[in-house]
Amino acid sequence: MTNKKRILSVAILIVLLLGLFGFLEKGRPQAELGLIATPKIFAHRGAMDRFNESTITSYKIASEEKVDALELDLRMTKDHALIVMHDETIDRTTNCTGRVSNLSLWEIKSCFTIGEYNGEITTEEVPTIDEVFQTFGSKQKYYIETRLVYGEAVMEERLVKVLLAHHLLDKEQVAVQSFSEESLEKMAAIAPQLQLTLLFKEGEFDIEKALEVDYPVVGLEATDVTEEVVNALHRQGKEIHVFFNDHENMEQQQERMKKLNIDGYYTDNIIFTKRLLSK
């Protein structure tokens, strides 16, 4: 084969490969624009990369970063006080042990959270939701997660009373999220003005359910997010808020979420997420 024929053959092959690549790309789903111009940043348990999670100091650091909302997890004590605590027990984050629902507020207040940052041990008491509102008031927005207590929706009425007491029963100030549809249904009944988010556990995302429920926002774990999921939810006018369980790969996952045009990030690293979204 002459050089001229070789060159022609290679050129034809390249054109065919480019054409095939273009065909495949055309058939591949493309991420559509998000529903909001600038994605929201939610301080997941405060600034937990710099201080003990779910503490007043952690939330103060996050508030100074001008996040869109402070993300708080609620647990109810034996005497029906609402504390800010992610886990079912206080074992992981404090110097005490026990299930929150089996302990009184006094017992929990006798303990303190423990962390280690920059080689130093940090301690601070577990706050109530009332103390968080006393600290920040209407100067800050809140994204609050409710959950069932022994299988029952009992913390919702207490939460609404506290919100009313602090003049925060306003969708511009507060949004409520939950993995429990029962909890969200109760919130919708007693505080219909608040925005509600249905959360899905990692690996349990159900696109059909997410599309059929009335809630305007869906929350899911990063590994369950695909272009098909994002496009389907956006076409139905639903915002997509994403949390990240794999801390080691959080930055890479957030970069992927940016390409998919999601609407909100529950972030453990506010500085990184703000820098990413500003690019």
Half-sphere exposure (CA, 13 Å, Cβ side) for 200?
Answer: 24
- Catalytic site positions: 44, 86
Say how far apart CA 9 and CA 180 lie, in whole Å.
Answer: 62
Say what the pLDDT of residue 279 is.
86
Question: With bands split at pLDDT 50, 70 and 90, how would you rate the model's confidence at 26?
Answer: very low
Say how far apart CA 108 and CA 11 lie, in whole Å.
Answer: 74
pLDDT > 90: percent of the chain: 86
Say how far apart CA 18 and CA 84 lie, in whole Å.
Answer: 55
Average pLDDT, the chain: 92
Say how far apart CA 153 and CA 81 lie, in whole Å.
Answer: 14
166 and 133 in contact (C-beta within 8 Å)?
yes
Say what the pLDDT of residue 19 is.
54
What is the span of the domain harbouring residue 212? 35-51+58-78+138-278
Residue 53 pLDDT exceeds 80: yes
State how far the alpha carbon of 244 is from the alpha carbons of 140, 142, 223, 249, in Å. 23, 19, 8, 9
Quick one: tokens of 182?
């029962």
CATH number of domain containing 42: 3.20.20.190
35 and 263 in contact (C-beta within 8 Å)?
yes
Domain-located, residue 256: yes
Q: Span 43-54, mean pLDDT?
A: 98
pTM: 0.88
Domain-located, residue 9: no
Say what the pLDDT of residue 31 is.
72
Question: With bands split at pLDDT 50, 70 and 90, how would you rate the model's confidence at 17?
Answer: low
Paired residues of 162 in beta bridges: none
pLDDT single digits (tens) 190-208: 999 999 999 999 999 999 9
pLDDT single digits (tens) 133-163: 999 999 999 999 999 999 999 999 999 999 9
Q: What angle do CA 52, 64, 220 make, to 5 degrees?
A: 65
SS3 40: strand
Domain-located, residue 241: yes
Q: Span 222-232, mean pLDDT?
A: 97
Ranges of beta strands (E only) in the chain are 40-44, 69-76, 82-84, 113-117, 120-124, 142-145, 174-178, 195-199, 217-221, 239-243, 264-267
State how far the alpha carbon of 153 is from the alpha carbons of 59, 143, 167, 186, in Å. 26, 18, 23, 7
Domain-located, residue 148: yes
163 and 174 in contact (C-beta within 8 Å)?
yes
Domain-located, residue 183: yes
Domain-located, residue 182: yes
Domain-located, residue 18: no
Quick one: tokens of 158?
């207490």
Question: With bands split at pLDDT 50, 70 and 90, how would you rate the model's confidence at 35?
Answer: confident
Low-confidence winner among 16-20, 135-139, 201-205, 249-253 (lowest mean pLDDT): 16-20
Say how far apart CA 13 and CA 10 lie, in whole Å.
Answer: 5
Domain-located, residue 207: yes
Query: Domain total for the chain?
Result: 1
Helical spans, DSSP H, in 112-180: 129-136, 155-165
